[in-house]
Structure 1
Amino acid sequence: MGTGAIVGLGMLGLVVIVLLFTLQRMINIVQQGQVGVVQRLGEYRRTHDPGLVVVAPFVDTLQKVDMRETPRPGDRQDVITKDNVVVTVNATIFTQIVDAKQALFSVADFDIAIDALARTALRSVIGTMTLDESLSERERINTDVQQQMEVVTDKWGIRISRIEIMEIAPPPQILQALALQKQADQEKRAKILESEGIQQSAINVADGDAQAFVRTAEGNKQAAILEAEGARQAAIFEAEGRALAIETVYSAIKKAHPDPTLVAILQLDALSKFADSENTKIVVPFESAALLGAAQALKGVLDAVPGGD
């Protein structure tokens, strides 16, 4: 093989290499979840969706941009709270590019810019909160930091999906003081619950005693009512019995057609029964004295007759 043939083969190989390199520069594949941004001589030309993209070799350049949501773990940083306590904060920021052109051409390096913006927003938000607020209100921190960042990132074509505060760590001496305070609060709460339990128990006992007293009083009242009712019924029965006895005696006497002498004897008998009682004084009308004397004499005669009882 002569020298000319060797040179020809070399040139052919060089042409093949150039063609392959050119084809590689011309034909590109944009994956799902990406877009391709084409620049021609450094100037933006167009944006391609996923798929096969053909560009002019040596003139056009294709830059692939990931459009998926991306977590960005932040670095730990020291932040001063409103009450001048230094806390260590660490947060993860979830971002998503919504406009590839803006993300590439509105800021020099959006990754570095987002990290710096997140650090600034965290310092700004936590600086307006006390230590207790920063430890207990993480959702508020997430929301406020996201709102502050979105004011800037919207201009970059980047959306802040969410922010997760991973850590807020006070100094060791503050942690120890917080632990002691928590223990004191728990003991205080336990004492309050104990006193409330004792108070409730006393209230329950008092209520029980009051109910028992009321029931006892009601029982005594009912017993007194029943006793009075019984006495009233007994008095009624006794009065009715006396009335019936008087009526019976009166009817018997009336049927016998008594004369004045018999009436006088009955009066004398009644007076004698009153006279049997001690400290009893009987006043007899003067006009009845003669009649009573005669009746007394007649009663004596009748008593002397056998069978006169």
Structure 2
Amino acid sequence: MSVVLVLLALLLVFVITLLAKTVRIVPQARAGIVERFGKYKQTLPAGLNIVVPFIDKVRYLIDLREQVVSFPPQPVITEDNLVVEIDTVIYFQVTDPIAATYEIANYIQAVEQLTMTTLRNIVGGMDLEQTLTSRDEINHGLRGVLDEATGKWGIRVNRVEIKGIDPPPSIKDAMEKQMRADRDKRALILTAEGQRQSAILTAEGNKQSNILNAQGERESQILRAQADREAAILRAQGEGQAIQTVFQAIHDGRPDQSLLAYQYLQMMPKIAEGDANKVWIVPSEIGKALEGLGSTMNSLQGIPQEVDGPRTRVDMGTSEPASLSDDDGVSKANEAVEQAIAEATQAAHPGRSPEAAQAAESGAGMPAPAQPAPPADDAPPATS
């Protein structure tokens, strides 16, 4: 009984082993390479597969997905004899599992070595600056060479990327200094442009300010000139009216020699008011001096001893000032003043022409040659 159980157990183990050797499950995106007696037999797709047990053997399980392999940095010499460290990344995919299995022993190592040799060939024809700025050109060259070389291996290189290019430390320091100098240069250029724009705007502002100041000064001078003109017109009108009033008062008062002598005596204290007149001496013969003054005043030309005849009233016109902008009114006022002066001169010197009367009137202020004359009876007594 025990022998039968042992046989049944052995039979069960054999069946299980046979099933395990017969049924093979291949995962998705994988391919199984089957060999029969050491020779390629078939390629198993993904899923459940049946093989001959103890005869067929699944030698390799190939991954059909796109793979990424990063290679360590490798030293590469540029055209200008500088050593740079370059590390790359390869994206590839197995398209033919049979060729990837039997055409090359280790396709990843082969791709790595091929990448290094191709990279040295490409970078060796470039200087450092081109190497740092031509990554797309290097990637394109690497991809073309690798895709052509790995085609017979059943591998397709999809992309090659340069992950890093590290120049020597001294070159890095020089590049940093150059970059710093370039940035300082651009900063100085921007500063100079800003100062230039500021100077231009300041000059334009000063120009506009000077123009506005000049316009304001011009308008101010025009207004000041107009104000001076109107003030001069008003002063002329006032002086004209004052002359008319004084002349009318003199004409109405009918002055004679006694009035003039009295006014001269009133002016004597004012003569003594000057700063240079420190001492005023009144002569003892003041009476004779006044008599001589009276005789001199009696002989003034143009001033009659006695005034007879009717009074003549001079029309002074309206008392309202003429308009500031009425130049004809100012001219008429001046003509009226001149006419009134002429009429007064003609009345004081009847029988003379107006020109001679005016000439005599202008010479009346000058004393005539001294002539002996009796002292005036109506002269005021001399006072000390």
- Do the two structures share a fold, i.e. TM-score over 0.5? yes
Distance in 2 between the 1:88 and 1:185 partners? Answer: 26
> Aligned-pair distance for 1:86?
1.1
Is the aligned partner of 1:213 residue 2:210?
A: yes
Mark the CA change 1:175 to 1:266 in structure 2 (over 3 Å): closer, same or farther: closer
Q: Secondary structure at the match of 1:32?
A: coil
Question: How does 1:88-107 map onto structure 2 within 5 Å?
Answer: 88-107=85-104
Q: Secondary structure at the match of 2:72?
A: coil
Greater share of helix residues, 1 or 2?
1
Counterpart of 1:30? 26
Are 1:268 and 1:295, in contact at CA under 8 Å, matched by a contact in 2? no
Unaligned 5+ residue runs, structure 1?
A: 250-264, 274-291, 301-309
Counterpart of 2:281? none
Distance in 1 between the 2:149 and 2:230 partners? Answer: 101
Are 2:342 and 2:354, in contact at CA under 8 Å, matched by a contact in 1? no
Question: How does 1:298-309 map onto structure 2 within 5 Å?
Answer: none
Distance in 1 between the 2:91 and 2:201 partners? Answer: 58
Counterpart of 2:325? 237
Structure 2: which amino acid aligns with 1:199?
A: R
Mark the CA change 1:293 to 1:200 in structure 2 (over 3 Å): closer, same or farther: same
> Aligned-pair distance for 1:188?
3.2
Structure 2-normalised TM-score?
0.53
Task: Show CA shifts across 1:178-210 (max 9, x none).
Answer: 333333334434433443343333333223222
Task: Show CA shifts across 1:201-227 (max 9, x none).
Answer: 333322322222232233334446666
Mark the CA change 1:219 to 1:16 in structure 2 (over 3 Å): closer, same or farther: same
> Aligned-pair distance for 1:131?
1.2
> Aligned-pair distance for 1:74?
0.8
> Aligned-pair distance for 1:111?
1.6
> Aligned-pair distance for 1:55?
1.5
> Aligned-pair distance for 1:51?
1.3
Q: Secondary structure at the match of 2:34?
A: strand
> Aligned-pair distance for 1:65?
0.9
Q: Identity across aligned pairs (percent)? A: 33
Are 1:80 and 1:86, in contact at CA under 8 Å, matched by a contact in 2? yes
Question: How does 1:205-284 map onto structure 2 within 5 Å?
Answer: 205-223=202-220, 237-242=325-330, 269=342
Task: Show CA shifts across 1:253-292 (max 9, x none).
Answer: xxxxxxxxxxxx969939x89xxxxxxxxxxxxxxxxxx9
Counterpart of 1:163? 160
Q: Which residue of 76, 79, 89 corresponds with 1:79?
A: 76
Give the length in aligned residue pairs: 257
> Aligned-pair distance for 1:175?
2.5
Are 1:268 and 1:296, in contact at CA under 8 Å, matched by a contact in 2? no
Distance in 1 between the 2:215 and 2:354 partners? Answer: 60
Task: Show CA shifts across 1:48-80 (max 9, x none).
Answer: 1x2111122344333311122222121321111
Q: Which residue of 172, 176, 181 corresponds with 1:179?
A: 176
Counterpart of 1:60? 56
Counterpart of 1:150? 147
Structure 1: which amino acid aligns with 2:342?
A: D
Task: Show CA shifts across 1:226-270 (max 9, x none).
Answer: 668889999992334357779x98xxxxxxxxxxxxxxx969939
Mark the CA change 1:212 to 1:122 in structure 2 (over 3 Å): closer, same or farther: same
Q: Secondary structure at the match of 1:237?
A: coil
Mark the CA change 1:208 to 1:106 in structure 2 (over 3 Å): closer, same or farther: farther
Unaligned 5+ residue runs, structure 2?
A: 234-323, 359-384
Distance in 2 between the 1:190 and 1:140 partners? Answer: 33
Structure 1-normalised TM-score?
0.63
Distance in 2 between the 1:232 and 1:60 partners? Answer: 131
Distance in 2 between the 1:101 and 1:242 partners? Answer: 128
Q: What RMSD in Å do the two structures reach over aligned CA positions? A: 4.3
Are 2:147 and 2:157, in contact at CA under 8 Å, matched by a contact in 1? yes
Q: Secondary structure at the match of 2:326?
A: helix
Are 1:74 and 1:92, in contact at CA under 8 Å, matched by a contact in 2? yes
Mark the CA change 1:101 to 1:267 in structure 2 (over 3 Å): closer, same or farther: same
Q: Secondary structure at the match of 2:52?
A: coil
Structure 1: which amino acid aligns with 2:32?
A: G
Mark the CA change 1:73 to 1:269 in structure 2 (over 3 Å): closer, same or farther: same
Mark the CA change 1:131 to 1:219 in structure 2 (over 3 Å): closer, same or farther: same
Mark the CA change 1:245 to 1:100 in structure 2 (over 3 Å): closer, same or farther: farther
> Aligned-pair distance for 1:22?
4.2
Counterpart of 2:365? none
Mark the CA change 1:217 to 1:151 in structure 2 (over 3 Å): closer, same or farther: farther
Distance in 2 between the 1:231 and 1:37 partners? Answer: 120
> Aligned-pair distance for 1:154?
4.2
> Aligned-pair distance for 1:87?
0.8
